[in-house]
A and B are shown apart, each in its own frame.
Chain A
Amino acid sequence: MNKLKESFRQNAFNEEKTLAQVYSRAQKNGLKTTESLRTKQRSRMNLGWILGSAAVLVLAWMVATSGWLPTTPSTQVIATVSINVNPSFDFLVDENMEVVEVKKVDDDAQSIDVTGLVGLPIGKAVNELIERIEEAGYIDLFDLTDDFVVVTKTFEDGTTTVIMDRLELHLREQIQTGSALSRMNVVEMKATQIEKREADGKEIPIGLYILQGMVNLPDGSVKSAKEFFAKTENLDRVKTQARVRITTPSAEKIRQRIEDACARLEKEGEDATELRTRLENAGLEEMLRIQSEIQIKLKATEEPGNPDSGNPDSGNPDSGNLDAGSNPEAPAENGGANQGSGNGDSGSGTNGNGNSN
């Protein structure tokens, strides 16, 4: 990042500075003691303290690895976060919002390396997993095809609303800003434990199990989220469900991928000047139209001898595209966050009617 942008990031709407100001006011108003001013002050540890802590940690590690202590985690699992792209996984999450176990749910998942995901905050773990799924070739976050991930949360009995909110927010942060998640259509749902048990019993990933129920498909007839949402009628049906929240990539991300596609077209010897000019001032609807046109052109360049290569259906603007609608900024989002007040932008392109029950 150049210094100009860096300067804006550090000084305009600086998250840490605002937090420090809030805490400072809280202290002045007697809501917060000096000792509890925890921000950044903890990091001002002296060298002796650091060395002492390091020695204790090394000792603890030696004891733990020598078998003197039980190695099973003592933390309590509060929820299972199930991820379905095409490979499907279950993350078991503790009350610190950290992953304590990753389960591979289907055959495709077996080829994905999940090393290092245990111990990560749940949001980051999911984002990291999506990156690995992309590396394995199941999805391409930079092509013009909409990618879907279904995120289903099943909470353990007795989990408080506060804990549920914390989990939601950990995920939301990554859905909005995560390198991979923010480029995808994220379909979020909550499942009951009964539903989860039924899905496990039928060996169907929970997300797809619920989605299939919503559109009355026979069990097992759909194998992946991509396949499911490739059918426009399925997507339309799901959008009307109150328990579903769908977040689409931001307009900026869509613009980026169209620009990438223009570059690919030019590489193939096609002239993309007109498309680029239109893109310059395009709103979201126009962007989706341009995207469809590029899809057709790209397909034609890939299959020059194919008489169907110009099939307009292949670039159907409805094919899998959510009406990310009119959201001009942050990932289009709907549902719980809207709780009567909209999602922060009058131009929000939300889908479905999610809630946070």
Chain B
Amino acid sequence: MKRTEADFETIYHATYPVLSRYLFRKTRRFEDAQDLLQEIYFAFYRLYLKEESTIENPQAYLLRMAEHELGRYYQGKSQFNIVDFDSEDNPIEMVADDVDLDTEVLNHLSTELIWQEIQRMDEPVLSILIARFRFDLDYPEIAELFAMPVTTIKSKVYKAINQLKQKFNK
């Protein structure tokens, strides 16, 4: 039976959450993971619509493609050494994961405006925020991912959010 774009979209929507998380975890960099994601789905699209291609399990297939892409990505990159230019942070002790960051002040702004400011932030802060607010990882998980103490991660999130609030409070 001929494969259609509707088939591709079904696969795309079913696999996107897993693949995006996977790439983000492996690269720990938002921009890189997004680029790789697009690259992989484009290659998959091209292959999938060819009738003669055999893809028995699309998710497993996509993950294998991701591994190949990551292999290429790692070559010549030293992204595993996360450079933390902000190591002078004064960590905030014992802050609960669900503590209210009091972001109400941002609620009157458009999401685009908020994003404009967020994407100006440096790495690894930007990716830490994405781990927290896009992928809903908790602080211990983020700490493990970025190989930093939990307190440092919490501190970075607080600092970034406060910076954002101050920006719009002016």
Determine which of B18, B58, B111, B130 lies in contact with A10 in the assembled complex, contact meaning CB atoms within 8 Å.
B111
Whether B41 lies near A18 (C-beta < 8 A) is yes
Asked whether any CB of chain B lies closer than 8 Å to the CB of A21, the reply is: yes
A177 touches B17 (CB 8 A): yes
Known interface pairs A8-B129, A160-B1; A345-B106 also in contact (CB < 8 Å): no
Nearest to B19 among chain A residues (CB) is A344
Docked complex Cα distance between A304 and B150 (Å):
40
> What 1/0 mask marks residues of chain A from 193 to 209 whose CB sits below 8 Å from any chain B CB?
00000000000000000
Q: Which residues B111-125 have CB closer than 8 A to chain A?
A: 111-112, 114-115, 118-119
Contact between A13 and B58 (Cβ–Cβ < 8 Å)?
A: no
Q: Smallest CB-CB separation from A176: which chain B residue?
A: B17
Q: Contact at B140–A281, with CB atoms within 8 Å? A: yes
Q: How far is the CA of A82 from the CA of B26 in the complex (A)?
A: 37
- Closest CB-CB distance, B15 to chain A, in whole Å? 7
Find out whether the CB atom of A336 lies under 8 angstroms from the CB atom of B13: no
Q: Known contacts A7-B114, A8-B134, A10-B111; is A176 also within 8 Å of B18 by CB?
A: yes
Taking a contact as CB atoms closer than 8 A, the residue among A3, A26, A163, A336 that contacts B106 in the complex is A3
Contacts of B63 in A (CB 8 A): 337, 341-344
List residues of B (1-59) whose CB comes within 8 Å of A's CBs. 1, 3, 5, 7, 9-22, 24-25, 30, 33-34, 37-38, 41-42, 45-46, 49, 55-59
* Cβ–Cβ contact B138 & A22, under 8 A: no
The answer to the question of A328 belonging to the interface, with a C-beta cut-off of 8 Å to chain B, is yes
Set B11, B25, B46, B49: member contacting A165, Cβ < 8 A? B11
Confirm or deny: A329 has a beta carbon within 8 angstroms of a beta carbon on chain B: yes
For the complex, is B86 an interface residue (Cβ under 8 Å from A)?
A: no
Q: Are B114 and A3 in contact (CB under 8 A)?
A: yes
Q: Is the CB of B14 within 8 A of A340?
A: no
Given the interface pairs A8-B129, A341-B63, the reply to whether A3 lies near B38 with Cβ below 8 Å is: no
Interface check B84, CB cutoff 8 A: no
Residue B61 interfacial (CB < 8 Å): yes
B34, A13: Cβ atoms under 8 Å? yes
Whether a CB of chain B sits under 8 angstroms from the CB of A339 is yes
Q: Is the CB of B115 within 8 A of A11?
A: yes
- Please indicate the chain A residues that have their CB under 8 angstroms from the CB of B33 in the complex: 13
**How close is B169's CB to chain A, nearest CB, in angstroms?**
14
Is the pair B150, A336 in contact by a Cβ cutoff of 8 Å? no
The B interface, classified by DSSP as helix, strand, loop or mixed, is: helix
Which residues from chain A contact B137 at a C-beta distance below 8 Å? 329
Identify A336's interface contact among B37, B60, B101, CB under 8 A: B60
**Binary contact track A34-62/B, C-beta < 8 Å → 1, others 0:** 00101000000000000000000000000
A281–B115 Cα distance when bound, in Å, is 29
- Assembly CA distance A338 to B135 (angstroms): 22
Inter-chain contact B115/A2, CB cutoff 8 Å: no
A336 nearest CB across to chain B (Å):
5
CB pair B97 A280 closer than 8 Å: yes
Please, what's the 1-or-0 string for A289-320, where 1 marks a CB less than 8 Å from any CB in chain B?
00000000000000000000000000000000
Contact A169 B11 (CB under 8 A): yes
Q: Is B83 an interface residue (CB 8 A)?
A: no
> Which residue of chain A lies nearest to B40 when distances are taken between CB atoms in the complex?
A22
**In the bound complex, CA of A29 to CA of B39 (Å):** 13
Specify which of B14, B33, B97 lies most central, judged by the most chain A CB atoms within 10 Å of its CB.
Answer: B14
Could you say which residues of chain B place their CB within 8 Å of the CB of A163?
A: 1
Interface: B88 (CB within 8 A): no
A9 at the interface (CB under 8 A from B): yes
Residue of A nearest to B2 (CB): A162
Q: A5 to B129, alpha carbons, bound, how many Å? A: 10
- Within the complex, the shortest CB–CB distance from A30 to chain B, in Å, comes to 11
Interface residues of A in 150-167 (CB under 8 A from B): 160-163, 165-166
Task: Please list the 10 inter-chain residue pairs (A to B) with the smallest Cβ-Cβ separation, ordered nearest first.
Answer: A339-B60, A169-B14, A344-B22, A7-B111, A7-B114, A8-B133, A173-B14, A8-B134, A11-B115, A337-B59
Binding site for A on B (CB under 8 A): 1, 3, 5, 7, 9-22, 24-25, 30, 33-34, 37-38, 41-42, 45-46, 49, 55-61, 63-64, 66-67, 96-97, 101, 103-104, 106-112, 114-115, 118-119, 129-130, 133-138, 140-141, 144, 150, 161, 164
